Structure 1
Amino acid sequence: FADQTVDGYRLASYESVDSRGINLPVIASGSTRTGDDGTVYAAGNDVTAHLEIRRAINLAIDRDAMIEHVLGGHGRAAYSIGDGLPWASADMRVETDRTAARTLLEQAGWTLSGDVYRKGDLAAELTLYYPSSDSVRQAMANEFSNQMAEIGIKVTTSGQGWDDIYPHQFSDPIMWGWGSNAPSDVYELNYSTGTMNFACYESETTDAYLDAALAASDVSASYPLWQRAEWDGTEGIAPQGAATWAWFANVDHLYWVREGLNVAEQKLQPHGHGWSIVNDINTWSWD
């Protein structure tokens, strides 16, 4: 409703670290992982297990187009979880380059057959799940599918309820929403035994950085360690490394605000579990 008007109200837009992105399982199918509820789920994906596929996906995303087409311009490009916060690494940034994406695939032995790349009997085809109750994630999933078609990767989107999505959490890309004002998500998404390690990524090097970050004497001392867990120049989850996730956008949080109400300055707002805008409501005022 951001392009509408409401008498007596103005549209307020606040930047967030409310990130939308997808996991890219790094292992082949045939394994299992245990969810945080204790349920054992199938794990692994034969397409995203190929590093060149994951890197090509990251290179091929036009984040600015996605923000314009889906969010009406109300968002910022996302490259990691926690963009704009001091523990985020600038090395997570990746520029759109679809020529480089196709070159990566072809150098790794993928050949274009019709509109889809193939490697032997394996087609570059994926199913992307999104919660059917979320129209923004639906539109973002479809935009991603259209963009991937430009580099010969076929993405079929599937809207489901969360009960039907969770069985795919370790085996297929899912349109997730994350983001908080603490680096804990960096740990949970990327630690070998993290509760949200849906990419099934395991690295002793990355684990060591994350352990050291948690053990740091103060929070500022932990920042370089979180960053090196993402990319240390040689190893990490970055697009030029293991490319374990593909991040799309940080969605702006939009509110209708009654005329005369002065809302206090907002910090980067986290993912929407709770209503962070009212954290400082004691400092709001009326004209």
Structure 2
Amino acid sequence: MGFSREYSDTNISGGVPIKKNQQHLSVGTLIVIIAIIGIITSMSGCVSSSTDDSELGSASGSESGSVSASSTSRASDELVVNVYSHTGEPETGFDPLLGWGCGHVNFEPLIQSTLFKTDDEGAIINDLATGYSASPDGKTWTVNVRDDVKFTDGEKLTAEDVAFTFNTAIGSNSELDMSNLENARAVNDTAVEFNLKEPQSSFIWRLRYVGIVPEHAYKKETYGASPIGSGPYKLVQWDKGQQAIFELNDNYYGQKPYFKKITMLFLDRDTAFAAAKSGNVDIAEIDITHANQSIDGYDIISLPSSRAFGVSFPMQNNTGKKSLTGDTIGNNVTADIAIRKALNVGIDRKAILDGVIYGKGDVEYTGVDQRVFGNPEARIKDSKPEEAIKILEDAGWKDTDGDGIREKDGTKAEFKLYYSSSDQTRQALSVAVSEQAKKLGIKINLVGTNWDEIYANQYSSAVLYAYSSIDTFNLYQQYHTKEADDTYRNPGLYSNPVVDGYLETALRTSDQEQAIENWKLAAYDGNTGFGPSADATWLWLVTMDYLYAVDETVDMGTPEKNSGSDILGNIYEWTRTSATDTAQK
């Protein structure tokens, strides 16, 4: 298992009443559950031999009251979770410079501190930082750092460690995008200066998720297995392929969480669901297919996210051009705006939302509808097949031979749609789009395959992608001409000079309000834009919530809005309620 290559956030919803649906466990799943019980009941036993680091001792006992979960007993301030199924176990360990907590999927790193955090509304707030400023030209950012923070080995954290972290990240060859950072330097012990190649209004999001590592104790080859940090927890045990155990950092400078110990299991969603049914986890990320099921003693909750699913369209005609890797560029059907607009208008997103993901999400039109920089004016009214048919007819797409497929100048309204064959949700979304398109006279041929094959065809065929980010820089990467190269950030090779202008202004300004306004204009300015009201570059479909089974004794506080993938982001607020009365399942 490893970190997802794809980006994989509407209002927070609470527990959803679910009808019980009895299921029989397979022999394989039963074996896994037996193994899980063995792992959890032996948590306080000897340390795994996977590491020789002296920092990783066995978990200490707790004096607090116990909580019983099925055959497993643990202290009320101990938590067992399986919450990162969408990223998987970190192959390179718990190293933020190699992707732990940041990269394509961002989440609370637990072990390390970050310069900034986000509150439950998604606004940037200080963590290690006490404040920041940007130069008038937007190319120099200065961040002030707390002077009362220590790493878990007792060494003081200073601006030198911050500068070291980001300078190392520049050349880490990981999913971290530090391409615009020239360098970072410590001005003194409590101030660090970031020098950018070009102004970037969204740079603060680069500072939000990267965990700070200690310069004196960082070695790329070994840090991930025995990390030293300044976050709320420390890693005390890692049994590769099974679990990681974190204990409270007693010297943590911030609000200390209630839970003194977190055992993180690395299970797929289906196995995690079975583990929850057996009462062996407090919280488990489960697959959307379990949305209409229930577990005694658990709430099934859905947490909204910006995980938007949509179909990318090749925007250029096929003229024989090839990409840098020799892949075909262009599609003579999807390059016609009438095809793209008809699909955006004719598709019934609500039917797809309810039919494919059980209503656990929201309809989506621009990919960023729920963000502060989303533009409501860029959206359209959908589920209008008559209007869609008129768009096609007016553009010359007609079914002259009666085969149910429209054609224009000898070209059939037919194209391929690629999706990941290992993802049932993407397959179901692709099937739904294909079935609805057929009613409009557009034939979509589905191709389920691996990602290497998908990337090789993304410039000539439609692809069912999922994107998720709170970082506005991703809009620039996704729609700017400069990014129309060999990268799946702009798979359609979209290019619009007016949109480029808005994106450049949004990125380069130091005025956040001006930046937001220009991000919105890039989607639609009343005339042009990347959204469905104008160029219709994508067929965005839905955003999908993250689904969790949560022990009814666990109070999760107020999760951050639209960040369902980062369920531990507000771990500081979590408690266990009625531990001695209602913990028995």
TM-score when normalising by structure 1: 0.93
| Structure 1 equivalent of residue 149 of structure 2 | none
| Structure 2 equivalent of residue 132 of structure 1 | 421
Aligned partners of 2:311 and 2:538 also within 8 Å: yes
Counterpart selection for 1:285 from 575, 580, 583: 575
Q: Which has the higher mean CA deviation after the structures are superposed, 216-225 or 121-130?
A: 216-225
Identity over aligned residues, as a percent? 32
SS of the residue 1:116 aligns to: coil
Distance 1:72 1:234 in 2: 36
Distance 1:91 1:129 in 2: 30
Aligned partners of 1:32 and 1:40 also within 8 Å: yes
Distance 2:323 2:315 in 1: 13
SS of the residue 1:3 aligns to: coil
CA drift at 1:242? 1.2
Aligned partners of 2:308 and 2:543 also within 8 Å: yes
Q: Which has the higher mean CA deviation after the structures are superposed, 217-226 or 203-212?
A: 217-226
Is the helix fraction higher in 1 or 2? 1
SS of the residue 1:130 aligns to: strand
Counterpart selection for 1:43 from 322, 325, 329: 329
| Structure 2 equivalent of residue 102 of structure 1 | 389
| Structure 2 equivalent of residue 226 of structure 1 | 519
Letter in 2 for 1:218: D
Counterpart selection for 1:76 from 331, 341, 362: 362
Distance 1:58 1:212 in 2: 28
| Structure 1 equivalent of residue 491 of structure 2 | 198
Counterpart selection for 1:14 from 303, 308, 332: 303
Distance 1:265 1:31 in 2: 51
SS of the residue 1:13 aligns to: strand
Distance 1:267 1:117 in 2: 46
In structure 2, relative to structure 1, the CA distance for the partners of 1:279 and 1:117 (3 Å cut) is: same
Aligned partners of 2:378 and 2:534 also within 8 Å: no
1:80-229 → structure 2 map (5 Å cutoff): 80-96=366-382, 97-112=384-399, 113-194=402-483, 195=487, 196-229=489-522
CA drift at 1:40? 4.3
Distance 1:240 1:83 in 2: 13
CA drift at 1:221? 2.4
Letter in 2 for 1:171: S
In structure 2, relative to structure 1, the CA distance for the partners of 1:268 and 1:32 (3 Å cut) is: farther
In structure 2, relative to structure 1, the CA distance for the partners of 1:264 and 1:209 (3 Å cut) is: same
| Structure 1 equivalent of residue 559 of structure 2 | 266
| Structure 2 equivalent of residue 27 of structure 1 | 316
SS of the residue 1:209 aligns to: helix
Aligned partners of 1:269 and 1:276 also within 8 Å: no
Aligned partners of 1:179 and 1:185 also within 8 Å: no
Runs ≥4 residues deviating over 6 A: none
Aligned partners of 2:366 and 2:532 also within 8 Å: no
Letter in 2 for 1:140: L
Aligned partners of 2:560 and 2:569 also within 8 Å: no
Aligned partners of 1:86 and 1:223 also within 8 Å: yes
Aligned partners of 2:314 and 2:458 also within 8 Å: no
SS of the residue 1:31 aligns to: coil
CA drift at 1:143? 0.5
Distance 1:280 1:116 in 2: 51
SS of the residue 1:232 aligns to: coil
**Which deviations, in whole Å up to 9, do the C-alpha atoms of 1:65-87 show, x marking residues without a partner?**
00111011111000112221111
Letter in 2 for 1:92: A
Aligned partners of 1:64 and 1:77 also within 8 Å: yes
Counterpart selection for 2:528 from 229, 235, 255: 235
Distance 2:497 2:398 in 1: 34
Q: Which has the higher mean CA deviation after the structures are superposed, 260-269 or 124-133?
A: 260-269
Letter in 1 for 2:329: A
Letter in 2 for 1:181: I
Q: Which has the higher mean CA deviation after the structures are superposed, 237-246 or 125-134?
A: 237-246
Letter in 2 for 1:157: L
SS of the residue 1:140 aligns to: helix
**Which deviations, in whole Å up to 9, do the C-alpha atoms of 1:76-125 show, x marking residues without a partner?**
00011222111111122111211111111111111113211011210001
SS of the residue 1:249 aligns to: strand
Q: Which has the higher mean CA deviation after the structures are superposed, 68-77 or 237-246?
A: 237-246
Distance 1:260 1:220 in 2: 42
CA drift at 1:266? 2.2
CA drift at 1:15? 1.4
Distance 1:181 1:264 in 2: 21
CA drift at 1:32? 2.8
Aligned-residue RMSD, C-alpha: 1.4
Distance 1:91 1:155 in 2: 29
What are the ranges of 5 or more consecutive residues in structure 1 without an aligned counterpart?
A: none
SS of the residue 1:176 aligns to: strand
Aligned partners of 1:138 and 1:159 also within 8 Å: yes
- Bigger radius of gyration among the two: 2
SS of the residue 2:322 aligns to: strand
SS of the residue 2:462 aligns to: coil
Distance 2:369 2:567 in 1: 19
